[in-house]
Structures are given as C-alpha cells and as structure tokens.
A = this chain, B = another copy of it.
Amino acid sequence: MSTRFVYFFGRGKADGNAGMKHLLGGKGANLAEMTAIGLPVPPGFTISTEVCDHFWKHDRAYPRPLAAEVEKNLTRLEAMMGRSLGDPARPLLVSVRSGAAASMPGMMDTILNLGLNDAAVEGLAAETGNPRFAWDAYRRFIQMFGDVACGVDHDHFERLLSAMKERRGARLDTDLRAEDLRALVTEYKAAFQRHAGFAFPQAPREQLWKAIDAVFSSWNTPRAVKYREISEIRGLLGTAVNVQSMVFGNMGADSGTGVCFTRNPSTGDNAFYGEYLMNAQGEDVVAGIRTPEPIAALKRENARAYRELVNVRALLERHYRDMQDIEFTIQKGELFILQTRNGKRTGPAAVRIAVDLVKEKTITVDEALMRVNPADLDQLLHPTIEPEAEKKARVLARGLPAAPGAARGRVFFTAEAAEKEHARVTRALESANSADKEAIKRLKSEADLILVRHETSPEDIGGMNVAQGILTARGGMTSHAAVVARGLGKCCVAGAGDVRIDSARREFTAGGAVVKEGEFITLNGSAGAIYLGRLETCEAGISGAFSTFMKWADSRRRLEVWANADKGPDAAAAVRFGAQGIGLTRTEHMFFDNIVPFRRLILVAGKVKKLREEIAAAESGTATAAERQALRDRLAGPQAQYDRALADLLPFQRSDFEELFTHLAGRPVTIRLLDPPLHEFVPQDRAGRESMARDMGASVDEIQVLADALHEANPMLGHRGCRLGLTYPEVSDMQVRAIMEAAINVKRKKRLPVKVEIMFPLVGHPHEMRLCRERAQRVIDTVFAERKVKKNEIPCHIGTMIEVPRACVAADEIARHADFFSFGTNDLTQMGCGFSRDDAGAFLGDYVKLGVYDRDPFRSLDQAGVGRLMQTAVTLGRLTNARLKLGICGEHGGDPASVRFCHDLGLDYVSCSPYRVPIARHAAAQAAIAEARAGKKKRASRTVKRVGSRSSRSRASPNHR
C-alpha cells in the first residue's frame, strides 16, 4: 500500500497522471492529466482506490492517516478557490463522485453541491445574486445526500416536489420560484429527519465524510457487483473518490452542461458528437430526464464556448490517441472540463475508429488490432431487418438510433418481468423434446424480448441483459439506456416520445396501435425505427472498414479459423465470414431430420445385436444344425428391417454432405459421426411415444421397453460417441459410406475439390481409435473400389475429438492411429472438472461468488485445469505423430481468451460458430501480436544476456588455447 492516500489537482498542477488509473480510478487519473496539460478543470483531490480496498477489508474503517490527509488537501483547495466549506459568505461547494479504474456508468454514486447548509445557502444566494439558484442547489443537495448517503428514498423528495409544483401550478421545475424552493427545503429537511432518523447534518465536514462513506459503500451494491459480473470487470481494488470544486451549469441561460464524444460512438464517424442542456446540472443530461440539444446547436447558443470545446476535442484526442468521451459545464459562459475518458463505442464504431486512426497515422495496424475487443465484433455480425420486409412493415414510431442492429421480440415493461419471462422460456427450452422442431422454433422466437421503458436506470441492468433490444420513450443518445445498450452490444431505440407507455395496463400505444405485454415488435437501432410485429431479418456481411480490419487481422494471425456447421446455410455463412474449413459437423441433426427411419433403426438394432451374439455362440458351440438354422431364421426379419432403415437413411445423409462439400469447395470438412446416446431420439412424453409407436407399427409398450432399456443414470458418461459406433458398427459404416459417396459425387459431378475429415467422438482409448479407423478405412476402400477412385484423388483424414480426460493422457498412443485431434472442450470441461453442465447451476453461482472459478468454465476455457489436460494431449500427441493436426471445436473456439490460449498451445486451428468466425480471426491476430511483443521483449533481454556471455567467453578463451 502506498504511503499517500490523497492526490491533489488544480491550476495546471497535479499529483497524479493518466497512468495512475488503478490507484486514482479513470476519472481521477484523467482529471489530474487534464489539469497538467492545461485544460480548464475545476480543482479538487482524489482519495485513492487503496482506501476503498482498506474500507472493505477492515469493516468499513479508514487507514489512520486518511483524515489528516483529506484535511490538508481540503485546506489547499479552499486556499486555491478563495472559499471555504460552510463559509456563510463565500461557501466552497464540492462534488463527491466515485470513479474506478474501469468505467461503470451510472453504477456508483455521486453527490453534488456538498457544503451547503442553512447559512451557506444564504451566502450563495447573496454572492450569485440568484436566490432561486441557491435554494434549488440546496434542495438538490438534500435530496441527493439523503438518497445516496443516508438511505432516504428519492421518492419521498420527489413527492414533495410534485406537490409543491401542483400547489404553485408549475409545469416544470424551473417554474418554481426561490420562495417555493426555500419552503421545499424546509419540507425536505423534515422528510430527511423522518426517514433517516436524524436531522440533516449542517456541518459540511460531516456531510463530506458521510458522502465519502457512501461512495465507497456504493462499490459493493448488488447492482454494481452485477454490473462487474456481466462486464467481467475483475481485479480492481475498488473505487476512488473525487472531491472537486463545483461549477454550475444551472446558473441561468448563459450556463449549461453537456457530454460529447470526439467521434460518433455509434458509427465511428469522425464527426463531433454530443448533447447539452442549458441551465441544467450534469446528471440532467446523463439521466435522460430532459431531452438535450445536439452539440452543433451550441455553436449558435454560445460560439465562444463551442470554439473552446472544439479545441479541447482536438487536444484530447491527440493527447490520448483515441476517441474521448468528455463531460463539460459552462458556468456563466466559461467552459470547464469535468471528465474525459476513452469513449465507450459500439463494435462498428470501434472498428471504424481504429481503421481511421491508422489511416490518419495516429496508431499502427497492430495497435488498431489490439485496441478493439474481439467480442465487440459480435455487433457487426448482428442481423439487420430484411429490406423488403422493412419497406412493407408498419412503422409505430421513430426515436433516436441509440445502438445499431436489428432486434425483434416480445415487449415487457419492467426488467423484472423480462427476467422472469427469460427464465421461463429458458427452462421450457431445456426441457423441450429435442425432436419436436415446431415447439423449439416457437420457444426460440418467444425467447426474444424487448424491454420497453420510459427511461432506464441502473436497476434495469438485469432486464437489459436478457433483452434483444431496448426501447425508451425519453432520453437521448447519451442516456443510460443508450450507453448501456451500446456497451452490451444490444440494439436500442431511445427517446421515442410518441411511444405512450401505460405501465399499469402493461401496454404501449404508438402510431395508433396498442401493443400489449408479450406481443412482438421489431426495432431498427441503426435507423431509430420501431415496427409492429416480427419482421424477417437478414445476415450481416463484411465490408468497408470492417473488411480492412479483418484483412489486417488475417495478415497477423497464425491460427486458422474454421467453423462449426451442420447444414448448408451454416456452411454458407461460415464461408462468408471467412472460415477456412469446417471443424465440426454434428451428424445427429441429420438423424433428427429423418427421425422415422432412425427410430426404426434404434428399435431393431438391439434385437439384431442380441440374435447375432446368440448365433455366434451357437456356431462355435454345441448347438445342432437345426438350432443354428432356427436362430438364423429368427434373425432374418429384424436384420432386413435394420438393413432397410440404414438404406433409408443413407441418401439423406449423402445429400446433406454433398451440400457441405459444395459450399466448402475444397476446404476441409470435418464430419463427426453419431454422438448422442440413443435415448435422446426416443420421445419422453406419452403423446410422443404414441406417435412413435404409430410410425413404427409398434405398441406403446414396446417403445416403453425400448426407452427403459436405453435409460441411463448419467447419460453424459453413457453409451454414446464412438461407443455407439463400436457396438453398432453398421451405423458408422453407413455414415462413412454416405460421406465418401457424397465426396465422390461433388468431385466428379460438380468438379469441385473435396477434403474429407472423418471424426470419431468420445475416443478415450487408443484401441477405440484403432478399431474405428480400421473399420472406416475398410468402408472407404470399398467405396473407392466401387467407384474406381484412385488413392489420393480425394484426400481423406481420420481423427478424433479429444474430450475424455483419458484421451489427453493417452494421446501419444491415440495419435498413432489419428490424423488429427479436435479438442471437444465442452465435454472435456464436464469430465475434467467433474461437473455436468445441466447440473452445475446448483453450485456454480456460489463458486463464482466464492472465487473458486474466475469465470464460468463453460464460457471461457479453464486454462489452469482443462488447459493443462489439453497441453498434455498436444505434447504427447506430437511426440508420436509429428504431422498430427490439432484444433478445437468446443464452444470455447469463439471465445477470445480461449483463442489466445489455443494460439499459445500451438494448435493449428480453432473452430467456432459461423457468427464468431470474425471474432476468432481477430482474437487469433491479437494472440500473434501479443506473442510477437512478448518475443521482442524476450529477445531484447536475451540479446543483453548473449552479449554478456560472449564477452565472458572471449575473456576465458586465451586460457583454453
């Protein structure tokens, strides 16, 4: 811990600088930096994040020297301002704000106008000659202080304000006169005493310490904790507290306050962008209560302030080499800068800005690639509304295009309702019969929700997180809803004033239509349009700055990026997004598409197996010829059904594979043979079983017997994967045949190159790999012979998923029989960590809270555990098979941190869902750049060492000669 807890800034000098974010928070560090580079920043001081850490670790107590340090800095501030706290003549007023190293907009607390009391308010009134302003400032302070520092609900004050306005016939707050506000202060103080249980403190230092307490306490409110969880903000000490002298945007028509971005945070356009409100305090802009003016209007309203602001824009962007988000206040015509930070931006804007900054020669290509968060590319891959559908659609209203993309979903009017509905649909989806396509399709569309609010507040974060899009009736482009939506990559239309929400009736009216809770609307967040119903959407492509950016990424990365695709359209999307191959085709989806013959197969497979075993026993045993013949006769019927079911399935599989090979046109296509346990294909419910029985010409009892026979205690660890392939080898044979016939057809008829990769799932033992490979090779040889295909005419590799821990430690032996390994990290995580994805919910929440796992290991690879198993497999596999190709096809393949890990492991490719291919390409580039940078450092230090060792050797050499 440092020996200093408080850092002063003011009048061109500062104790801190922009590099001290971890200690001073982003706001504090930048206030110091801006002060130092000469910007007009109101003086103040920052209490460091170490104090917050101490506060939470010591039962809300402060380090002993803190009080004296605060007092010293306060005295310095008072001297600099020529004012002092609580001085009835020239009262010093300060703001007390939180500010952590990572931005958490609106998540923590702020108190303004601190220092006012019954005496100081009179002084302020006299000094400014504006009693209305003074009493309004006092009123606001009591309200904010009560709410934030003393647990007195906002509403208690709001009700009194509304009542006063009614009594006075005032429409706006600004219609109230000084006397009204003075009376209101009296009412506020009474309300304060009533609800807080003690009188509003008149002593400014008591106010100050209570405010500091409140800010530090706000670090761990549930909503702040939740925000950090969602944003994966970790490793911070806490928040800093900034105590800064007040400037006022509400001192009359020549005062104002605003927020601006040096470039458009939504599109990345290099155009000055922002909003302001005259005669208002800062939070009026951010909270979205009044709809502000665009920044360009300031030019007319206050040309000098506007010019100064334009200069500040250029200065700060040059200084920070990135797009800035700036808060400013104009007090009686004079401009003050209250905050700057790297501006939050949408994914498209991030890419556009990075590419533009390279073109402007401000940053390098590597910097551009490192600066964009790969996960943010997701937003560029969001679908848009299908243009024809949009033309014909009924427009309900228009609002601000606050966060781009398209979203369609059912409307909900509270975060709570949205979260509940989300949970309900999720549960329904989990328990749905996977064969019931219709039900799943319906549930999936029901899972799309739109949160509709007058305005959002930090309490809504949970609901925003589960929604596809957000629609607000009030607030601007920098309102809470807009900022958070952009951060979360959600589509948002804000400030749609024509949308009239009736919360009580759970409906809204717009454009003459009434939309009730649960009904569909569609948002165009790039255009700000709201449509009735569920419009068709279409897929994103890669063009413009994004295309440049991806080319840069490709030029840097070493990892190949493949995609997981089960069907033609997925494969087409994969290729469109730049996939270099298909790393995983799950063939079970093809069986679900042809469920009747497949169920027929399952029904008869067990019988055939049993009879064959009996015949084998009879052949080598003592059974008579007649007994053997009787057994053979009994087998004939089931065997014929079995063969027919297999023959029925073959053409479907083949045509599916033909489609994949056609789309991939010579890029490798990795096809995984049947994986899930057979019971997944038998309906769970009575109705489904009855229908299955009808389809099969069997009795429901027979289906029940089948289901019982297939039931498993732990299906995750059951009869699936290559275990199925080895017990029912004819099914694998059929699949391999379908693959090879499809490959030959595409090669011969479409004259396209084809690369086949046949993948066996769930291999744990080298013998499994060997047996599977031998059998597959026999089928391949047969098909090649039938079709007169020469060896090497169609390249074909045979490999395995690595998803059983045993496979990792036996990888040397398995690699002798495999051309490639593809890490199935979903199952490897389940078996390696020993928790089932379906059941881990019961404790994984507690586990993340307790800090056992940093993150959900199903979302981001558990590098210290599962990663070590992978490392073992890579090392052992390459030991016996230097040409072994290594990839990953678990869902981690699209997670940037996991991609980085795969790069470091030395894998050849990652495979992810088509829509994450650009993200993986980018993450792979970042991994390569990070490695090169680390290598440079290492080489640098090695060079030093080598020089040293060489000189010592040359010194030693004469003795040796």
Contact = CB atoms under 8 A, between A and B. Distances in A.
Interface of A: 151, 153, 217, 220-223, 617, 620-622, 624-625, 712-719, 723, 726-727, 762, 764-765, 767-768, 771, 803-806, 809-810, 813, 827, 830-836, 838-839, 842-843, 846-847, 850-853, 862, 864-866, 868-869, 872
Given A717-B717, A813-B864, 20 more contacts: A217-B620, A223-B621, A712-B838, A713-B839, A716-B716, A717-B834, A717-B836, A717-B839, A719-B839, A723-B835, A727-B843, A765-B853, A805-B805, A805-B834, A805-B869, A806-B866, A809-B868, A809-B869, A810-B865, A831-B831
Nearest 9 interchain pairs by C-beta: A714-B836, A717-B836, A805-B805, A713-B838, A809-B868, A804-B834, A806-B865, A719-B842, A718-B839
B713 A764 contact: no
B764 A833 contact: yes
A742 to B, nearest CB: 29
A726 B805 contact: no
A831 B846 contact: no
Contact of A836 (B151, B712, B846, B865): B712
Contacts of A850: 726, 767, 771
11 contacts: A217-B620, A712-B842, A713-B715, A714-B714, A714-B717, A726-B843, A727-B842, A762-B834, A765-B865, A804-B832, A806-B834
A784 to B, nearest CB: 25
A459 to B, nearest CB: 8
B872 A809 contact: yes
A951 to B, nearest CB: 28
Nearest to A716: B714
Contacts of A868: 809-810
A221 B620 contact: yes
A609 B617 CA distance: 58
A852 B222 contact: no
A806 B867 CA distance: 10
A862 B813 CA distance: 14
A540 to B, nearest CB: 35
Contacts of A727: 842-843, 846
A64 to B, nearest CB: 25
Copies in the complex: 2
Contact of A620 (B222, B839, B862): B222
Contacts of A153: 622, 624
A220 B620 CA distance: 7
A839 B712 contact: yes
A768 B848 CA distance: 11
A836 B620 CA distance: 33
A622 B151 contact: yes
A804 B832 CA distance: 7
A438 B765 CA distance: 42
Contacts of A712: 836, 838-839, 842
Most chain B CB neighbours (cut-off 10 Å) among A223, A718, A727? A718
A740 B869 CA distance: 38
Contacts of A846: 726-727
Given A622-B151, A624-B151, A850-B767, A830 B717 contact: yes
Contacts of A151: 622, 624-625
Contacts of A771: 850, 852
B806 A832 contact: yes
A702 to B, nearest CB: 19
Nearest to A459: B622
A764 B153 CA distance: 45
Contacts of A809: 832, 865, 868-869, 872
Most chain B CB neighbours (cut-off 10 Å) among A839, A847, A864? A839
A870 to B, nearest CB: 10
A352 B842 CA distance: 57
A145 B624 CA distance: 16
Contact of A805 (B222, B622, B832, B852): B832
A718 B835 contact: yes
Contact of A838 (B217, B714, B830, B834): B714
B621 A222 contact: yes
Contact of A768 (B223, B716, B831, B852): B852
Most chain B CB neighbours (cut-off 10 Å) among A716, A850, A862, A866? A716
Contacts of A830: 717
A227 to B, nearest CB: 13
A153 B625 CA distance: 11
B852 A833 contact: no
Contacts of A217: 620
Contacts of A810: 864-865, 868
A864 B767 CA distance: 12
Contact of A842 (B624, B718, B842): B718
Given A151-B622, A872-B809, A765 B839 contact: no
A869 B806 CA distance: 8
Contacts of A714: 714-717, 836, 838-839
A824 to B, nearest CB: 11
A183 to B, nearest CB: 26
B851 A767 contact: yes
Nearest to A867: B809
Contacts of A862: 806
Most chain B CB neighbours (cut-off 10 Å) among A803, A804, A834, A846? A834
A427 to B, nearest CB: 12
Nearest to A835: B717
A666 B765 CA distance: 44
A340 to B, nearest CB: 30
Contacts of A765: 833, 852-853, 865
Contacts of A839: 712-715, 717-719
A431 to B, nearest CB: 11
Nearest to A220: B620
A712 B804 CA distance: 21
Nearest to A868: B809
A792 to B, nearest CB: 31
A764 B865 contact: yes
A843 B865 CA distance: 29
Contacts of A806: 832-834, 862, 865-866, 869
Contacts of A221: 620-622
A821 to B, nearest CB: 16
A574 B165 CA distance: 86
Contacts of A831: 717, 805, 831-832, 834
A717 B716 CA distance: 9
A843 to B, nearest CB: 5
Nearest to A768: B852
Contacts of A838: 712-714
A339 to B, nearest CB: 25
A217 B842 CA distance: 58
A217 B622 CA distance: 11
Contacts of A847: 723, 726
Given A712-B838, A806-B866, A864-B813, A852 B767 contact: yes
Nearest to A827: B834
